[in-house]
Amino acid sequence: MVIATKFGHNLDNEGRRLGGWNSRPERVRQVADASLKRLKTDVIDLFYQHRVDPDVPIEEVAGTVKV
How large is the C-alpha radius of gyration of the chain? 12
Taking the C-alpha atoms of residue 36 and residue 44, their distance in angstroms, rounded to an integer, is 7
Whether 32 contacts 7, CB under 8 Å: yes
pLDDT at 14: 80
Residues 7-23 pLDDT 10s: 999 888 787 888 889 99
Looking at per-residue pLDDT, the higher value among 63 and 15 belongs to 63
pLDDT at 19: 86
- For the chain, give the longest Cα–Cα distance: 34
pLDDT band at 67 (very low <50, low <70, confident <90, very high): low
Number of Cβ within 10 Å of residue 31's Cβ equals 19
Whether 15 contacts 58, CB under 8 Å: no
